[in-house]
Amino acid sequence: MLHIRHILFLLLICLAAMPSTAQRLKTNKKLLRTVAQSQQASAAQYKLLMQQLPLDRFPVTYYEKTRKLVTSGSEPWVGGFYPGALLYLYEGTKDTALFNEAMRKLGPMEKEQFNKTTHDLGFMMYCSFGNAKRIAPRPEYDQVLINSARSLCTRFSEKVGCIRSWDSDAARFMVIIDNMVNLELLFAATRLTGDSTYYKVAVTHANTTMQHHFRPDYSSHHLVIYNPATGAVSKKQTVQGASDSSAWARGQAWGLYGYTVMYRETKDKKYLDQANHIAQFILRHPNLPADKIPYWDFNAPGIPNAPRDVSAGAVICSALFELAKYVDGRTARTYFKAAESMLQAMCSPAYLAAAGTNGGFLLMHGVGNYPRNADIDVPLIYADYYFTEAMRRYQQW
Ligand code: GLY
């Protein structure tokens, strides 16, 4: 006869063997097919785009009216997204033309490892060389990532507890929420070197940002200005948002993505709580449209006729697929379903450009910098990058 102790023991074994909520959430076969088709269509688009690019130029956006392709050198923050998106698409399609183009673009990016004039080295070097290392590792990539992290850390101030974002005024230590996404590079550098300095810089920056960038409702300011001599906060304001008190959509997306990475890398629950709070601010916001692709600012004037920002949507979608793995029960389902609905929208003709249009970019309807009247309702290379990442995250769920 089974003793009560045996029954309890068996029950415990059964519970331990049960899949977690995230494991039990199933991908939708139809959406998986749509994603595979979108990857094929995206590969064809990028083959058009690549024909227009000299070796040392990187795509930024395209203006439909004037049929103008806007490109940059390797030095602005967007340089790494094109090789990174090519690599994600290569993983999904196994089309070697994409892989070869990505490899070709790493050459002119490489020198940026020594660039100490920007905080964007995570975007630039981790999205490019980080993905290259993941897919087709070469020892020289490790050194590029380490050098990039070293350059990024030269911008860290012990006094402020942050990495400086912008250099335009030495008397004002400026930090934008976007900077959270540069920290992933630092964790990679600590893994590669065993040196915890990079890790500590990332944690300190994330803690300071958590303390000063966020409002009580967990929306975030875009820019916090610190006194470099004392570390005191002197101003909180926006540059790319609708107002100092508004929630700029891509800023909220960078925060969500950044604190999700912070939890992945440290397993410190305070970062998971922060990511959850940000996710809830976004998903419960009354101005979030039905397809969950946000307006360019959650408080944009003119809603519901304000432009959407698909780049914010793509970053949020990709982050939610990751965050859903770290939370339990209904929360995981909420994030997963929201991300699925965003992915579905981005794979539809409402956002995914028809073959041969959009200058060869994948997604339509991004907003670069609304207050400056720059890049409104256009394709954006960073929207494409996080879209290709979200597609892979869904396929690999
Ligand atoms: N990091 C610049 C932007 O999000 O526009």
At 291-308, the pLDDT tens digits run 999 999 999 999 999 999
Residue 167 a catalytic site member = no
pLDDT tens per residue across span 2-21: 565 665 555 555 455 555 66
Q: How far from chain centre, in Å, is Cα 362?
A: 17
Considering 95, 142, 169, 178, which one is annotated as catalytic? 178
Q: In the chain, what are the domains?
A: 24-53+251-397 (1.50.10.10), 76-86+93-154 (no CATH), 156-237 (no CATH)
E-state strands within the chain: 58-63, 68-72, 156-157, 162-163, 173-176, 223-226, 233-237, 366-369, 374-378
What is the Rg, in whole angstroms, of the alpha carbon atoms belonging to the chain? 21
Tell me the CA–centroid distance for residue 378 and ligand 1, in Å. 15
Q: Is the CB of 77 under 6 A from ligand 1?
A: yes
Considering 120, 297, 309, 375, which one is annotated as catalytic? 120
DSSP classification of residue 166: B
Task: Give the predicted TM-score (pTM) of the model.
Answer: 0.95
Q: Can you tell me the distance from the alpha carbon of 290 to that of 209, in angstroms, rounded to the nearest whole number?
A: 30
pLDDT tens per residue across span 329-376: 899 999 999 999 999 999 999 999 999 999 999 999 999 999 999 999
Tell me the CA–centroid distance for residue 178 and ligand 1, in Å. 6
Q: Is the CB of 309 under 6 A from ligand 1?
A: no
Tell me the CA–centroid distance for residue 16 and ligand 1, in Å. 43
Residue with tokens 């305070």: 270
pLDDT tens per residue across span 214-240: 999 999 999 999 999 999 999 999 999
Tell me the CA–centroid distance for residue 393 and ligand 1, in Å. 22
Residue with tokens 């994409």: 98
**What phi and psi values does residue 333 have, to the nearest 5 degrees?**
-65, -45
Give the β-pairing of 173-176 and 223-226: antiparallel
Q: Can you tell me the distance from the alpha carbon of 79 to that of 178, in angstroms, rounded to the nearest whole number?
A: 16
Q: Can you tell me the distance from the alpha carbon of 382 to that of 253, in angstroms, rounded to the nearest whole number?
A: 12
pLDDT tens per residue across span 234-265: 999 999 999 999 999 999 999 999 999 999 99
Residue 120 a catalytic site member = yes
For ligand 1, what atom is nearest to the CA of residue 368? 5
Q: Is the CB of 250 under 6 A from ligand 1?
A: yes
Under 8 Å CB-to-CB from 234, ≥6 apart: which residues?
172, 225, 226, 227
